[in-house]
């Protein structure tokens, strides 16, 4: 029993925090988020060098070969710093290929994801925004062992910069996963303007795209189960960033409450301020416990992953919504000026709520998985 970071994880966390403080302070975050795709080449290369992009990719494919708890440790830091970069997206694409690809496919795709030359993302959702097999209408038409795909995927994270999309589609009664390159004929994608400018999201349009047989992921025995696992991994990754972001929002607000003098005393002296801050602390720590257990389940207890994920994303979603709002509110008027950082965390909370299932969706899963 050790519910704490290992020495290696602590080092990973420290290095990440130092890197982000130096290379991606909030001034840089603001510059990057205002760029067309909220993307910075140099930051991306530096992350590749640190091994972040291949963190969970096996070392034989150019990765670092660590697990999801380690990834969660890292994402907590990038969430804290609101780092605009397709790190979650590319990690999820790597996870999909690692879990469900053949050795050949891993060899072809993973090294370029690990070294940053390719940027991956999941394209799971369509019109209707339904999480699960029912949300997949895109149907492949067989052609020479492969498939022709025509249709759209919606709400694709980092759609504008991704070069490799994991695209579930229907083939008869089955769900298969195509690996679609942005360079392939008939593929177009673009990001759209979103509330949280550090997070881009958009559409992937497939116009009669030919998917070769060896670009269909070989592994999953049951596509619906594989899809469910990808949704869970995505929810875990998003939640990890949420924990970091909500903890930082709490810190910023706590510091403000200590510094801000009103009616002759720091406002943090009043229970009307200090109690919401204490509640934030309770919520962040509890979210963190739930999240780390879910991340641990990814590798160590896959049967427990759905319930652990549902609990973590549900609780954290509610918590972050409240922390985002209270954080701005406790700052008073200054909190919603563009100049102050706290409002960026509020916007992140708005982005994170629906991402891979909101609180209601996941609480309903907790009930169903609990057998009632």
Q: Does 2 bind other proteins (CB under 8 A)?
A: yes
Q: Does 275 bind a second copy (CB under 8 A)?
A: yes
Residue 362: closest CA among 58, 75, 148, 132: 132
Total residues at interface with other proteins (CB under 8 A): 88
Whole-number Å distance between alpha carbons of 77 and 211: 37
Q: Does 261 bind other proteins (CB under 8 A)?
A: yes
Residue 275: closest CA among 263, 286, 283: 283
Helix (H, G, I), strand (E, B) or coil at 329: helix
Q: List the strands of the sheet with 187-192, edge to edge.
A: 141-143, 146-157, 201-211, 187-192
Q: Min. distance of Cβ 277 from a second copy in angstroms? A: 12
Q: Which of residues 67-86 bind other proteins (CB under 8 A)?
A: 69
Question: What angle, 0 to 180 degrees and rounded to 10, lies between the N-to-C axes of helices 87-100 and 68-80?
Answer: 170
Which CB, 190 or 367, lies closer to a second copy?
A: 367
Q: Which of residues 306-345 bind other proteins (CB under 8 A)?
A: 311, 314-315, 321, 325, 328-329, 332-339, 343-344
> Which one of 7-15, 31-39, 272-280, 297-305 is the stretch in contact with a second copy (CB under 8 A)?
272-280
**Beta-strand runs (E) in 196-254:** 201-211
Which CB, 264 or 272, lies closer to a second copy?
A: 272
Q: Which of other proteins, a second copy, none binds 58 (CB below 5-8 Å, type-dependent)?
A: none
191 - beta bridge partners?
A: 202
**Element containing residue 93 per DSSP (H, E):** helix 87-100
Residue 11 φ/ψ, nearest 5 degrees: -65, -45
Among 36, 128, 144, 272, binds a second copy (CB under 8 A): 272
Q: Which of residues 87-146 bind other proteins (CB under 8 A)?
A: 125, 127-131, 134-135
Q: Does 155 bind other proteins (CB under 8 A)?
A: yes
Whole-number Å distance between alpha carbons of 46 and 4: 28
Among 122, 138, 237, 257, binds other proteins (CB under 8 A): 257
Among 31, 265, 270, 367, binds a second copy (CB under 8 A): 270
Which CB, 102 or 286, lies closer to other proteins?
A: 286
Which CB, 226 or 308, lies closer to other proteins?
A: 308
Q: Which of a second copy, other proteins, none binds 173 (CB below 5-8 Å, type-dependent)?
A: none
CA distances from residue 55 to 58, 67, 119, 164, 327 in whole angstroms, order as listed: 8, 8, 14, 18, 32
Dihedral angle, C-alpha 258, 264, 269, 270, nearest 10 °:
-130
Euclidean distance between the first and the last CA atom of the chain, given in angstroms as a whole number: 31
Q: Record the tokens describing residue 149, joined without a space.
A: 């795909």
Among 181, 194, 212, 218, binds other proteins (CB under 8 A): 194
Q: Does 363 bind other proteins (CB under 8 A)?
A: yes
Q: Which of a second copy, other proteins, none binds 85 (CB below 5-8 Å, type-dependent)?
A: none
Which CB, 179 or 267, lies closer to other proteins?
A: 267
Which CB, 117 or 368, lies closer to other proteins?
A: 368
Residues making contact with a second copy (CB under 8 A): 270-273, 275
């Amino acid at each position: 029993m050790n519910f704490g970071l290992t020495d290696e994880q602590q080092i990973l966390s420290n290095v990440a925090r130092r890197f982000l403080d130096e290379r991606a302070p909030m001034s840089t975050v603001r510059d990057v988020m205002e760029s067309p795709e909220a993307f910075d080449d140099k930051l991306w290369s530096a992350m590749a060098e640190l091994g972040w992009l291949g963190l969970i990719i096996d070392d034989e494919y150019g990765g670092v070969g660590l697990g999801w708890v380690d990834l969660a440790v890292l994402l907590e830091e990038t969430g804290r710093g609101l780092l605009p970069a397709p790190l979650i997206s590319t990690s999820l694409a790597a996870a999909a290929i690692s879990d469900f690809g053949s050795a050949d496919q891993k060899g072809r795709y993973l090294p370029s994801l690990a070294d940053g030359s390719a940027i991956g993302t999941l394209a799971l959702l369509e019109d209707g925004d339904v999480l699960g097999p029912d949300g997949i209408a895109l149907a492949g038409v067989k052609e020479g062992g492969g498939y022709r795909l025509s249709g759209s995927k919606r709400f694709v994270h980092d759609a504008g910069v991704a070069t490799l999309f994991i695209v579930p589609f229907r083939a008869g009664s089955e769900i298969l996963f195509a690996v679609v390159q942005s360079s392939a004929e008939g593929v177009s994608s673009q990001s759209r303007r979103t509330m949280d400018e550090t997070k881009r999201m958009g559409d992937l349009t497939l116009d009669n795209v030919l998917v070769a047989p060896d670009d269909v992921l070989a592994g999953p025995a049951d596509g619906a189960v594989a899809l469910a696992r990808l949704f869970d991994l995505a929810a875990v990754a998003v939640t990890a960033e949420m924990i970091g972001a909500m903890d930082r929002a709490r810190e910023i607000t706590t510091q403000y409450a200590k510094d801000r003098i009103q009616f002759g005393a720091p406002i943090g002296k009043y229970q009307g301020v200090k109690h919401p801050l204490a509640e934030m602390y309770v919520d962040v720590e509890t979210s963190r416990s739930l999240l780390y257990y879910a991340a641990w389940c990814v590798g160590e207890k896959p049967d427990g992953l759905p319930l652990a994920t549902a609990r973590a994303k549900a609780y954290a979603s509610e918590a972050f919504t409240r922390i985002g709002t209270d954080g701005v509110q406790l700052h008073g008027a200054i909190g919603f000026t563009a100049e102050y950082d706290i409002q960026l965390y509020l916007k992140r909370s708005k982005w994170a709520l629906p991402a891979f299932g909101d609180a209601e969706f996941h609480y309903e899963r907790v009930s169903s998985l609990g057998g009632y």
